[in-house]
Amino acid sequence: MLENLPSLLSLNLNRSMLSDDGCENFARLTNLESLNLDSCRICDEGLANLTGEFNSQISGEAVISY
């Protein structure tokens, strides 16, 4: 589903069932500026992988909250 939203700027997944396995889908959202993952099931390793994907894909500064 996310591959159909490449222009998405902000995404709030607060209190969703998202886990480390679902983080790989965010690499396609190259215009994403804000991502809220508060109360999700993402561990430190998943977050590190997620921020690595954003750093390699996004030219500006992205905000990830958790």
pLDDT at 61: 58
pLDDT per position as a tens digit, 18-63: 888 888 777 778 888 888 888 888 888 888 777 766 555 555 556 6
Domain 2-65, CATH homologous superfamily name and number? Ribonuclease Inhibitor (3.80.10.10)
pLDDT at 29: 81
What pairs with residue 35 in β-bridges? 11, 64
pLDDT at 55: 57
The model carries a pTM of 0.69
Q: How far apart are CA 37 and CA 15, in angstroms?
A: 7
pLDDT at 53: 63
